[in-house]
Structure 1
């Protein structure tokens, strides 16, 4: 039986782990990020990968930093055949990568060499891409730079957001990994080096990027909203307060009103953006409120705003 050290943290990693278990691979350990405080009450929360591992009574390792840790020494001493990672969230030292008998394999949520880094799915939405996909790749010390074992593309639908793409890609990644692993194990697979001229990076989303500004077009704003749903959410500033937008749509019409002005608040809540573009807000969350459909907002706070009024802070 081929033995694997599995490394993953978010929901994206769970179908991959479950797929390996269901196909008879021996999971020697699951390595995931430490439990963290979540929400207003700062409740200590386990990662989805840890929850899945505990369901199957698998050993769990949670080093704050893998490099140089006691946990890494224990993992190296397991002499596993493979390391498989799926959105683990830390760099893996070369010593650890070289400790396995066959290969260290990564399930990455983009069509490499496009979108190396920690937020490939979000950047595919931010940039308005028509497709994304999964890459099964060999791990090396340099971030997402290893040779490619296999790839499969996935169309991005207009209604997709980061949450729906993460889910779709997690299952695509599971299936492609399970299809590819046998030829990695028997050595028959042909690897393809990445073209360095085509490399695009996707660094983690910053706090500054969460803000929607009226310098954006409606399409750019909508792409950001989709990219940051369900976490952490994109917002605009209205009356000096954060106003989160969870779902929107680009209107077909154009406007002569200045960016940031309210166009309509009867039956819809439409705001002017750059290049005369218009964005209809569909699901929102005013400061200190729960998220709500726009109809509920218009029946309450939204009724006070007047069409033509500049409501979005610059």
Structure 2
């Protein structure tokens, strides 16, 4: 099997390694230049290609005629997309049968940032799905999928690690059937689940009037190394690094950050608390004493 692979991130690295181990001839890898504005906490597809001597390109646009010509010239039997960030246009998808690895149990959580959305919505499981690619995202027939649990205190970063392993397992299990043409296609019922868009740092702003479970799910969904759930006090911005659900707040405490018995907490709309063991201002951890000073200053100026 001769393949052109569109890949990025940890899933891209691990699935490329599966293809290499399975004897696939990788004619070309299409990946991304790292964004200097983004915290890069994941493995590098470029470094893997350099180590393995695989030809790669990093075009800014997947719709360019130059890229189409390069993919056609590679004469692939199959295209794979493993966490490549751009949609592949119809002319590219027409070169060869194409398969995408998606980080959810399709048809659930179609679209962008599926792991983050699953955690935000309190899902108890997710996984990885290999599916046939169509112009409509995450809509093609399902080839194989593997489920992983989302434990009550898992962050999206922890779940993404499980999904990466699930992607590797899914591809490893189905690759022989893809190579000999016996892989079965299962329906992807788009009446179930739904589409979700990309997330921006501003989406991490905390509404403390919400119930504690919803605030906690937001924290888990965007906890570092993602930008984090945040709240502003005056001109100061505080990001929750680590937190757990806790008990109930003393009466008459308003929603928001507070210090109780020398500990930082978040008071939520249902009266429950988040016990915050790491609160950050930029890259600096904030102590309970420092937060209390900020709260006192902010209160006195209002």
**Pairwise same-fold verdict (TM > 0.5):** yes
Q: Structure 1 residue 241 and structure 2 residue 236: aligned? A: yes
Does the 8 A contact of 1:35 with 1:47 survive in 2? no
1:23 deviates by 2.5
Match of 2:83 in 1: 87
Match of 1:59 in 2: 55
| Residue 78 of structure 1, aligned match among 74, 78, 89 | 74
* Partner Cα distance (1:12, 1:160) in 2: 19
* Partner Cα distance (1:5, 1:151) in 2: 22
List aligned pairs for 1:185-264, cutoff 5 A.
185-229=179-223, 230-256=225-251, 257-260=253-256, 262=258, 264=260
TM-score by length of structure 1 reads: 0.87
Give 3-state SS (helix, strand or coil) of 2:109's partner.
strand
The count of aligned residue pairs is 297
* Partner Cα distance (1:275, 1:46) in 2: 37
1:34 deviates by 2.6
1:39 deviates by 6.2
Match of 2:46 in 1: 50
Which range moved further: 111-120 or 236-245? 236-245
Moved over 6 A (4+): none
List aligned pairs for 1:1-314, cutoff 5 A.
2-38=1-37, 48-100=44-96, 103-229=97-223, 230-256=225-251, 257-260=253-256, 262=258, 264-266=260-262, 268-287=263-282, 289-290=283-284, 292=285, 297-298=287-288, 300-304=289-293
Give 3-state SS (helix, strand or coil) of 2:86's partner.
coil
* Partner Cα distance (1:279, 1:93) in 2: 45
* Partner Cα distance (1:86, 1:265) in 2: 48
Which structure: greater helix fraction?
Answer: 2
TM-score by length of structure 2 reads: 0.90
* Partner Cα distance (1:136, 1:260) in 2: 42
* Partner Cα distance (2:250, 2:24) in 1: 59
Which range moved further: 60-69 or 45-54? 45-54
Note the residue ranges of structure 2 that are not aligned, 5 or more in a row: none
Q: 1:255 to 1:200 in 2, by over 3 A?
A: farther
**Post-superposition CA distance 1:28-87 (Å, at most 9, x none):** 1111123422469xx9x9972112212212111111111133122111221111111111
